[in-house]
Amino acid sequence: MTFFCNTDAGRGDLFRRLFGEALPDLPFAVPGDDVDAAEVRYLLTWTAPPNLRDAYPALEVLFSTGAGVDQFRFDDLPPQTQLVRMIEPGITAMMQEYVVMGVLALHRGLPAYLGQQAREEWKVLPAVPAAGRRVGVMGLGELGKAVLEALRPFDFPLAGWSRSARDIPGVVCHSGASGLQDFLAATDILICLLPLTDETRGILSADLFARLPQGAGLVHAGRGQQLDAAALIAALDSGHLEAAVIDVCDPEPLPPGHPLWHHPRILLTPHVASQTNAETAAQVVIDNIRRHRRGEPMVGLVTRERGY
């Protein structure tokens, strides 16, 4: 029963040391080691190796090195394999930082002021108190709830939307297709933290943008395939949307000349909103292996039917 850590050498060395201390009975391997794939029961990776189902027929748990799992296909996995996404403090803290940065940048008009700076234009723009700026989060999983908690001290009216009903103190929660319209109509800054599924692919569309209030903003840190970039640019150019902070695109890297690079009211970052901390990630995986051995539910276990 082998744990195969399919990652870079630096992380592999760190994981090997921590696993040796915590799980000395579990054989550990990294790329380059002599390992029998048929003996691999646990696999940690970001991308699926080729022919995963055939290459690792006894695989019991596939651990993603990141919070996303849309890079994996369930029909490529052996039928007994459980898929676990990464839920660790480093990812959560960085996402909180990024989203708060994006919300405050939109709230205080940073894209407009950057444009004025480029034009050498000194002009004070109208300001809105935080209590008058409604912030809504799409996706109320671990990251969505953590982001809402980080925004709470600023006194923004907070709302959230998810596929199924949630109850979060101090947050107006909406759910399902029936709740989406009311959620969007009352959101001045929209934050997308949704997982990528068939239902969320392309959800940030012209129709969705049209249902936001005039002058709304967008912080997108979900998945690139959820955003219709042309629709976003059209909504910005028409003035219906004021500005956007975009961390994920389709494709990535964004090709030269793409309109998202140069739009004056888009702040663009290269998929850096959150990154896995290797040491805390190792501890999370170790804890999950212990849970799996005891027959307990693992943290971050993905439901095949939902895809997250």
Do 269 and 247 meet the contact criterion of CB atoms below 8 Å apart? yes
Regarding whether 217 and 250 lie in a shared domain, the answer is: yes
Instruction: Give the chain's residues under pLDDT 50.
Output: none
At 77 the three-state DSSP class reads coil
Angle at Cα 219 formed by Cα 124 and Cα 178, nearest 5°?
A: 120
Active site residue 53: no
Name the catalytic one among 16, 166, 258, 271. 271
Looking at residue 108, its pLDDT comes to 98
Regarding whether 195 and 280 lie in a shared domain, the answer is: no
Active site residue 223: yes
Looking at residue 109, its pLDDT comes to 98
Looking at residue 58, its pLDDT comes to 94
Looking at residue 50, its pLDDT comes to 84
Regarding whether 115 and 173 lie in a shared domain, the answer is: yes
Regarding whether 174 and 163 lie in a shared domain, the answer is: yes
| Whole-structure pTM value | 0.89
User: Based on the structure, what is the number of domains in the chain?
Assistant: 2
Please report, for the domain that includes residue 212, its CATH number: 3.40.50.720
Regarding whether 101 and 18 lie in a shared domain, the answer is: no
Could you tell me if residue 150 is inside a domain?
Answer: yes
Looking at residue 204, its pLDDT comes to 98
Domain of residue 124 covers 90-268
Which pLDDT tens digit goes with each residue over 216-247?
999 999 999 999 999 999 999 999 999 999 99
Provide the terminal-to-terminal Cα distance of the chain, rounded to the nearest Å: 26
Regarding whether 242 and 171 lie in a shared domain, the answer is: yes
Could you tell me if residue 114 is inside a domain?
Answer: yes
Could you tell me if residue 25 is inside a domain?
Answer: yes
Name the catalytic one among 85, 223, 263, 265. 223
